[in-house]
Structure 1
Amino acid sequence: MFAVFFTTDYAIFSIAFVVMLGIGTIEAIGLGFGHLGLDTDIESGVDAAGIDSPGVLDWLGLKSGLPVLVWLTALLGCFILTGVAVQQIATALLGSPLHWTFASLIALTIGSIANGFVSAGLGKIMPEYETSVIDTEDLIMRRGVVLEGAARRGHPARAKVVDRHGQAHYVMVEPHHDDDVVAQGESALLVRRNGPLFFVQPDASSFKPL
Structure 2
Amino acid sequence: MWHLLLADENLIFSVALAIMLILAVLEGGATLLGMGLSGLFEHLIPGLDLHTDAHLPDNSNALSRLLGWMKVGEVPLLVVLIVFLTCFGLIGIGLQAIALQLTGLLWPGWLMCLPSLLLTLPCTRALSSLVGKVMPRDETTAIRSDALVGRIAIITLGEARHGSPAEARTRDQFGQTHYVMVEPDEEDAVLRQGEEVLLIRQLGSRFRAIANPHPQLSASQGRP
Give TM-score scaled by structure 1 length.
0.72
Pair 1:26–1:163, CA change in 2 (3 A): same
Q: Residue 121 of structure 1 corresponds to which residue in structure 2?
A: 130
Q: Could you tell me the percent identity over the aligned residues? A: 23
Q: Structure 2: which amino acid aligns with 1:140?
A: V
Given that 1:38 and 1:68 are in contact with CA atoms closer than 8 Å, whether structure 2 keeps it comes out as yes
> Matches of 1:85 and 1:156 in 2, distance apart?
44
Given that 2:50 and 2:64 are in contact with CA atoms closer than 8 Å, whether structure 1 keeps it comes out as no
Listed as ranges, the gaps of 5+ residues in structure 2 are 44-48, 215-224
Q: Residue 80 of structure 1 corresponds to which residue in structure 2?
A: 89
Of residues 171, 177, 198, the one that matches 2:208 is: 198
> Matches of 1:61 and 1:166 in 2, distance apart?
18
The CA deviation at 1:117 is 1.2
**1:50 pairs with 2:62:** yes
Pair 1:16–1:129, CA change in 2 (3 A): farther
Q: Deviations over 1:135-189 (max 9, x none)?
A: 331331123568747x7xxx556464523334443311214xx9xx645557553
Given that 1:193 and 1:199 are in contact with CA atoms closer than 8 Å, whether structure 2 keeps it comes out as no
Matched ranges for 1:141-160 at <5 A: 141-144=150-153, 148=159, 155=162, 158=165, 160=168
Of residues 43, 49, 62, the one that matches 2:72 is: 62
The CA deviation at 1:118 is 1.1
Pair 1:87–1:174, CA change in 2 (3 A): same
> Matches of 2:62 and 2:42 in 1, distance apart?
21
Of residues 98, 106, 122, the one that matches 2:115 is: 106
Q: Structure 2: which amino acid aligns with 1:80?
A: G
Q: Structure 2: which amino acid aligns with 1:62?
A: V
> Matches of 1:158 and 1:30 in 2, distance apart?
18
The CA deviation at 1:92 is 1.2
Q: Any idea what SS the aligned residue of 2:185 has?
A: strand
Give TM-score scaled by structure 2 length.
0.68
Q: Structure 1: which amino acid aligns with 2:37?
A: G
Pair 1:121–1:25, CA change in 2 (3 A): same
**1:173 pairs with 2:184:** yes
Matched ranges for 1:131-142 at <5 A: 131-132=140-141, 134-142=143-151
Q: Residue 20 of structure 1 corresponds to which residue in structure 2?
A: 20
Q: Which has the higher contact order (CA 8 A, sep 6+)?
A: 2
